[in-house]
Copies of this chain bind each other. A is one copy, B any other.
């Protein structure tokens, strides 16, 4: 019996997943609206066939399309025989949207979030080792069997990833703090940079602002879908920024030093991990 993987959306994530699992499946089919992307994926051997709907016999389906189309695909595939995985960065809102559309959660869907590669896009930058050593978070709900969750985990592990399960709300709060807020701050920061400043970027600018080059459509979608957790993280940040502003305005250098020492301690905890 042949095994088949279908990838919906051959962007960087979808194409890298196809490459990483090339030998795990007898057949890899793709749904990709962009003719150039599809042609590249087939010509470079990332996939075997372009299809216009998900084959009923597919054993696994990876949804790596833009985030605003994921819920529609999950609804359409709700009674498909295969394992359905998405790759969205926000889990709580997606689960809520699917439940609102269907009145239930499908038994074949394991929500997944691979922590990898959001700064570039397209199949030309696909990399079969993209997931190696990266985390993939699964946030399965009670509707799905532990067997299916194990199958999803095994596929990501075969792609080299370290798999972890989290509650979707906790996931969204943690990634609001460690990923979404840093992107928001880098974007807001870049808006205040003067053209004349770009000659003087040796003092911290480059590291700090690198993530500010990320994709506007993807990130405005993430901000929209994770708004509650992101706004909470932002409020906490604004509180700490206010502490700094007041200390600087008051010439309270000791107070500033203590705040910086606390921040540095937090950073050192990370390095010790």
Contacts and interface: CB of A to CB of B under 8 A. Distances in A.
25 contacts: A89-B203, A177-B194, A178-B203, A179-B204, A182-B204, A185-B185, A188-B243, A188-B259, A191-B243, A191-B262, A192-B240, A193-B266, A207-B207, A207-B210, A212-B263, A213-B271, A214-B264, A216-B261, A217-B257, A219-B260, A220-B257, A221-B253, A223-B244, A223-B248, A227-B248
A205 B188 contact: no
A155 interface: no
B237 A224 contact: no
- Give chain A's interface residue range (CB within 8 Å of chain B): 35 or more
Nearest to A249: B231
A196 interface: yes
A87 B65 CA distance: 51
B219 A211 contact: no
Contacts of A262: 190-191
A217 to B, nearest CB: 6
A175 B267 CA distance: 23
A221 B205 CA distance: 19
A205 B182 contact: yes
A249 B192 CA distance: 21
Interface string A140-182: 0000000000000000000000000000000000110111111
A264 B208 CA distance: 13
Given A185-B185, A191-B240, A115 B174 contact: no
A206 B216 CA distance: 21
A202 B179 CA distance: 8
Nearest to A164: B199
Interface string A239-273: 11101110011010110111111111011111101
A197 interface: yes
Given A208-B186, A213-B268, A248-B231, A203 B237 contact: no
